[in-house]
Amino acid sequence: MAAGIARGKRALRNWRESQIPRVTQDSLGRDVGVSGSAIRHFENGTEGFDLSLHVKVRLSRRTGVALAWLLNPDELSTVRQAYELLGEDNDGAGAAA
């Protein structure tokens, strides 16, 4: 797992656990349209498991964790290419959407 992705998953868990009241994996999953077990697998880096890009965007918006930290390398490359095609500043890919 790439360092940035691992950092994003830790950041997601840290965000959840720092909230008062604490946000559970089940409640965060409900907020973004997946199960709590999907959040658990994503945070734990379960081999072969990933969330859809749409869910990652929702997670970024809900938590403030940078979208770029949640993306796998292929998704990050696609987002960077899209920004280049649109003539946008590439740093925007790292901002929470």
HSE toward the beta carbon, residue 65, CA cutoff 13 A: 26
What are 1-35's pLDDT values in tens digits?
456 567 788 999 999 999 999 999 999 999 999 99
Q: 90 near 80, Cβ under 8 Å?
A: yes
* Position with higher pLDDT, 78 vs 39: 39
Q: Does 92 score more than 90 pLDDT? A: no
User: How many domains, in total, are found in the chain?
Assistant: 1
Once rounded to an integer, what is the mean pLDDT over residues 50-64? 95
**What pLDDT does residue 4 have?**
58
Domain harbouring 24, CATH code = 1.10.260
Confidence band, pLDDT 50/70/90 cuts, at residue 97: very low
**What pTM was estimated for this model as a whole?**
0.78
In 11-22, which positions are buried (b, 16+ CB within 10 angstroms) versus exposed (e)? bbbebbeeeeee
Q: Give, as one character, the DSSP assignment of residue 35.
A: -
Q: Give, as one character, the DSSP assignment of residue 26.
A: H
